[in-house]
Every structure is written in C-alpha cells, then in structure tokens.
Amino acid sequence: MFESGAILIYLAEKAGKLLPADPKRRSQAIQWLMFQMGGVGPMMGQANVFYRYFPEKIPAAIERYQKEGRRLFEVLDSHLAHHEYLADEYSIADIATWPWVRIYDWSGISIEGLPHLQAWMARMAEKPACQKGITIPPRKEQPDELIKQAQQMVTR
C-alpha cells in the first residue's frame, strides 16, 4: 500500500469512519481528497521548497507557487462558505488538507480575506486528533535546523 490518499481511503473503509457511506457524499469526499493530492499538497510543497529551502531565491518560482497556493485557498474558502467541512461532514479530505493549509505562513502565503477558510482551520485545530497530530512525535529541531535539513535534501 502506498500513496497517502490511497492509504487514507483504505483506512477509512477498514474503520468504517471518516468517509461517508452515501455514494454521492462519498464521491464528494474523494473529490476533495484528490483536490488536496493533486493541488494543495504539491503546490504548498513547491512553495515551501522555493520560498524556504532552495539555496538560491528564484522570484518567479516563488511567486508562481505562492499565487497558485493562494488560488487553491480561495477555492477552499468559496466552498467552505457553504459547508462546515469539505465533504459536509468531517472526513479524510479535511484530514489530508488541513496540515498543508495550517502552514500557510511557512510557505509565505496569506490567508487574509479568507474568512471561511480561517473558520474551518479553527474548527480543525480544535479537534483532539488534529491537536495530537501536530505534537506527535515531538519536534526536536528548531525551524532553522529544519530549513538546513531540507536544504540539504533539495540540493542532493
């Protein structure tokens, strides 16, 4: 078993949780999961690489990925204006998307003017599982050390 989205679907199906049973709602959850897998995750990852980790600053690359990250956040904000969670109920789509969105500032992306996204982020942050997910395992490195480690990975 590989690929985080496939793993999440497998685990949700096995546990009978976090993925709606109703076919339409299940499809919506999987669509939002794929939005994260094909959009939010890759764009935030690239924004991080060029903004924080790449040894030379390439303004066009930084701007491109920050703008695309912001555009994706605007899509989320627009959707969340009418939905409490991405698939109406808390699901693997939220679980996969929130960790990327919560590090918006690390990527240099603003969430100003995105009130529905901000409210969703706050709802997610209140969930005990989300709180546990960002503290386990405990982070030993300081941000500067994390940047150095990541820079070494991208320059191999």
Q: Is pLDDT above 90 for 30?
A: yes
Round the average pLDDT of the chain to a whole number and report it: 94
What pLDDT score was predicted for residue 143? Answer: 74
Query: pTM of the entire structure?
Result: 0.91
Q: How confident is the model at residue 21 (pLDDT cuts 50, 70, 90)?
A: very high
What pLDDT score was predicted for residue 58? Answer: 97
Q: How confident is the model at residue 147 (pLDDT cuts 50, 70, 90)?
A: confident
Give tens-digit pLDDT for 124-143: 999 999 999 998 888 777 77
Cβ-defined contacts of 26-30 (< 8 Å, 24+): 28/86, 28/87, 28/88, 29/86, 29/87, 29/91, 29/92, 29/93, 30/93
Q: Is pLDDT above 80 for 121?
A: yes
Q: Is pLDDT above 80 for 146?
A: no
Those residues with Cβ within 8 angstroms of residue 12's Cβ, 6 or more apart along the chain or in another chain = 18, 19, 91, 92
Q: Report the amino acid identity of residue 61.
A: A
Give tens-digit pLDDT for 63-114: 999 999 999 999 999 999 999 999 999 999 999 999 999 999 999 999 999 9
What pLDDT score was predicted for residue 155? Answer: 77
What pLDDT score was predicted for residue 65? Answer: 98
Rounded distance, CA 107 to CA 52, Å?
7
- Six-digit token string for 138: 């405990």
